[in-house]
């Protein structure tokens, strides 16, 4: 593969959008307007889609070594390059608004990339290669020298202004290339500001001042969060990553920063995850609560009630755009070859059209889990949402659907979907006192019991000796590990215990991770963390702990997890950073912390 590994990338965020910066010093992904907007740097999906390199001239050659770390509790990334000529640090960040602190982060983001170079020893030759390509590489901008020594790039709907401290940059035909050297003690800052073509001009920030402000904004965000459990550093960092995937203006959480990074190299299972799923909402909500982030939890509730709107006869939407958009129709970017030649590259996600019956249950379960926080009575919007979701489950649970993994073949009666329908009815009964006179707990309880009996009867396969992925199927599925997590069955139940063992045996990889399906080539990190939880609840805490520590070893050098892991070489696969992988880490760490199995 002639491009960086997925794990080579670090994540920057201003809670409006995010960027990926490689170990080689190249920013290969940035969609500056918001997470799901068109990119101006997209080289991770094709060499023609733009990048911004800032690194030693000797980068990648013999004698070059890289060390990276985040400033604690931030997404400000410091990369130290050790070269034969000396050492230099490059600190990268997406700027916070000046004066922003804590929960204000991202509300009025200036959309400015900051890069500050600091000489540590010797005298290191550096190179800057600025090659913007807006609209996923479809456009090549005009470049114009500016009186202050900067360069303006303008094309289509995008305006970018690049400036360097005391360095007169000069526009080439389609890029800016500049070489300079830094000695010990030298500091050179760069800022790249985005603005719409026909709006206000891009912001102008002092890189060193803006960087210090950004660090303080992130640190203030985490000062009020005090996670009391084990693996505190991992949990706090995963919570920071989830915060970085949050679009502050609405409260929505993007499932991942990227689109179309493949589940299998050269394969076609490539999807746009820069959108917000209701299922992810529910799981992320619990993770934020575990990680002691109550403000984030309340913001997610506000987003979900407004996004869903009034629940009627149509299937509950499974996903939305970050500002609540409903139509997320998928289209291919045919001009891009994809990561490691993995086509198609897509924008949008046609799963928005699917029926996924587990989604109402995920939402109601999350509301029940945080019921004490929400008070003894719900406001009108929340009350009507729960009532609408419960009634829809009561009338549709018996239908087939596409399941939680969003299968694109025919609908089936997926085990996990039915179990979450049971959870919806079970928790709706528990919430009935807060739902007013329209609540129907007696009917809901009857439906709940019918669903449970159906799952126990139809979900078990005597020949396989396990609960299988769908009714009437002999195929095992990693989603069966979710049953104890949502308390449908205890992990110690004989049939559930047999299912856990069968999933470990048939879907496990050599290092103990879990795939979703037998024919899936890569392990799925969320399912692997579910196995950790199941083992704790089955009374095998030490084995669970060992597995947890093996799974988290697959994080990259700055603690980021993608969607999947290639069992052949441990390489990360899929979109990155993946929210649900970090959610799984947080919840598994908390399960290991709990004094007794739940």
Percent with pLDDT over 70 in the chain: 97
Q: Please check the confidence at residue 362 and state whether its pLDDT lies above 90.
A: yes
532: which 2 tokens?
A: 């950790």
**The pLDDT value given to residue 432:** 96
CATH number, span 6-222? 2.70.98
**The pLDDT value given to residue 596:** 56
**The pLDDT value given to residue 598:** 47
**The pLDDT value given to residue 293:** 67
**The pLDDT value given to residue 1:** 45
**The pLDDT value given to residue 297:** 64
- What's the mean pLDDT in 502-515? 97
Q: Please check the confidence at residue 201 and state whether its pLDDT lies above 80.
A: no
Q: Please check the confidence at residue 64 and state whether its pLDDT lies above 70.
A: yes
Tens of pLDDT along 528-562? 999 999 999 999 999 999 999 999 999 999 999 99
Quick one: pLDDT band at residue 222, thresholds 50, 70, 90?
confident
Which residues are within 8 A (CB) of 359 and not within 5 positions of it... i.e. 6 or more apart?
Answer: 278, 279, 316, 318, 420
Q: Please check the confidence at residue 519 and state whether its pLDDT lies above 60.
A: yes
490: which 2 tokens?
A: 């205890």
Tens of pLDDT along 104-113? 888 899 999 9
- What's the mean pLDDT in 563-586? 97
**The pLDDT value given to residue 102:** 73
- What's the mean pLDDT in 365-384? 81
9: which 2 tokens?
A: 């990338």
Nearest to 153 by CA among 109, 195, 96, 205: 195
Residues 534 and 567: their CA atoms lie apart, in Å, by 21
**The pLDDT value given to residue 288:** 82
User: Given CA atoms 68, 77, 551, 592 in this order, what sign does their dihedral have?
Assistant: positive
Quick one: pLDDT band at residue 202, thresholds 50, 70, 90?
confident
| Lowest-pLDDT choice from 57-71, 118-132, 277-291, 393-407 | 277-291
Q: Please check the confidence at residue 343 and state whether its pLDDT lies above 60.
A: yes
Instruction: Please check whether residue 93 is in contact with residue 105, taking contact to mean a CB–CB distance below 8 angstroms.
Output: no
- What's the mean pLDDT in 335-341? 97
Percent with pLDDT over 90 in the chain: 82
- What's the mean pLDDT in 228-256? 94
**The pLDDT value given to residue 300:** 66
Nearest to 281 by CA among 251, 248, 314: 251
- What's the mean pLDDT in 424-442? 96
- What's the mean pLDDT in 114-119? 98
Q: Please check the confidence at residue 59 and state whether its pLDDT lies above 50.
A: yes
542: burial class by Cβ within 10 Å (0-12, 13-18, 19+)? exposed
**The pLDDT value given to residue 226:** 80
Is the peptide bond prior to 577 cis by the omega test (within 30 degrees of 0)? Answer: yes
HEC per residue, 456-524: HHHCEECCCCEECCECCCCCCCHHHHHHHHCCCCCCCCHHHHHHHHHHHHHHECCCCCECCCCCCCCEE
| Lowest-pLDDT choice from 93-107, 309-323, 539-553, 567-581 | 309-323
Tens of pLDDT along 454-503? 999 999 999 999 999 999 999 999 999 999 999 999 999 999 999 999 99
**The pLDDT value given to residue 313:** 65
**The pLDDT value given to residue 199:** 78
- Domain spans, the chain: 6-222
Q: Please check the confidence at residue 299 and state whether its pLDDT lies above 70.
A: no
Residues 594 and 598: their CA atoms lie apart, in Å, by 8
């Amino acid at each position: 593969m002639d491009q960086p590994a997925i794990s080579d990338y670090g994540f920057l965020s201003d809670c409006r959008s995010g960027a990926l910066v490689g170990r080689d010093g190249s920013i290969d992904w940035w969609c500056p307007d918001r997470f799901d907007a068109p990119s101006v740097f997209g080289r991770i999906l094709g060499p023609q889609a733009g990048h911004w390199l800032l690194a030693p001239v000797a980068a990648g050659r013999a004698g070059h070594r890289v060390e990276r770390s985040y400033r604690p509790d931030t997404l400000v990334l410091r990369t130290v390059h050790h070269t034969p000529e000396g050492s230099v640090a490059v600190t990268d960040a997406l700027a916070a608004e000046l004066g922003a602190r804590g929960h204000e982060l991202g509300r009025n983001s200036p959309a400015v990339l900051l890069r500050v170079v600091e000489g540590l020893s010797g005298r290191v030759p550096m190179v800057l290669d600025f090659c913007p390509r807006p609209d996923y590489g479809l456009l090549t901008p005009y470049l114009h020298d500016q009186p202050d020594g900067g360069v303006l790039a303008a094309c289509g709907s995008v305006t970018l202004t690049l400036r360097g401290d005391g360095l007169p940059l000069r526009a080439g035909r389609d890029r800016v290339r500049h070489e300079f050297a830094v000695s010990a003690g030298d500091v050179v800052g760069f800022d790249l500001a985005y603005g719409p073509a026909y709006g206000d001009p891009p912001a102008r920030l002092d890189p060193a001042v803006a960087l210090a402000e950004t660090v303080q904004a992130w640190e203030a965000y985490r000062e009020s969060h005090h996670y009391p459990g084990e693996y505190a550093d991992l949990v706090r960092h995963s919570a920071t990553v989830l915060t970085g995937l949050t679009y502050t203006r609405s409260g929505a959480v993007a499932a991942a920063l990227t689109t179309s990074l493949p589940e299998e190299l050269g394969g076609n299972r490539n999807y746009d995850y820069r959108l917000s799923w209701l299922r992810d909402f529910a799981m992320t909500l619990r993770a934020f609560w575990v990680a002691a982030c109550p403000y984030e939890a309340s913001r997610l509730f506000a987003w979900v009630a407004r996004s869903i709107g009034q629940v009627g006869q149509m299937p509950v939407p499974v996903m939305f755009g970050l500002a609540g958009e409903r139509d997320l129709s998928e289209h291919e970017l045919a001009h891009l070859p994809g990561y490691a030649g993995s086509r198609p590259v897509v924008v949008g996600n046609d799963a928005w059209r699917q029926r996924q019956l587990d989604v109402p249950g995920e939402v109601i379960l999350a509301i029940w889990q945080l019921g004490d926080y929400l008070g003894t009575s719900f406001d009108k919007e929340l009350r009507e949402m729960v009532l609408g979701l419960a009634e829809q489950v009561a009338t549709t649970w018996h239908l087939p659907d596409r399941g939680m993994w969003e299968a694109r073949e025919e609908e089936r009666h997926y085990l996990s979907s039915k179990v979450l329908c049971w959870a919806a009815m079970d928790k709706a009964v528990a919430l009935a006192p807060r739902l007013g006179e329209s609540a129907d707990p007696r009917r809901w309880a009857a439906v709940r019991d019918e669903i449970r009996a159906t799952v126990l009867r139809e979900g078990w396969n005597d020949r396989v000796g396990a609960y299988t992925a769908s009714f009437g199927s002999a195929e095992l599925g990693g989603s069966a590990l979710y049953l104890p997590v949502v308390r449908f069955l205890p992990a110690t139940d004989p049939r559930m215990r047999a299912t856990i063992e069968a999933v470990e045996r048939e879907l496990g990889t050599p290092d103990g991770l879990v795939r979703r399906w037998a024919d899936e080539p890569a392990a799925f990190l969320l399912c692997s963390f579910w196995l950790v939880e199941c083992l704790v609840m089955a009374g095998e805490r030490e084995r669970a702990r060992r597995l947890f520590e093996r799974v988290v070893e697959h994080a990259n050098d700055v603690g980021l997890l993608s969607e999947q892991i290639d069992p052949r070489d441990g390489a990360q696969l899929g979109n990155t950073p993946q929210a649900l992988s970090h959610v799984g880490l947080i919840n598994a760490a908390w399960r290991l912390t709990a004094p007794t199995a739940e």
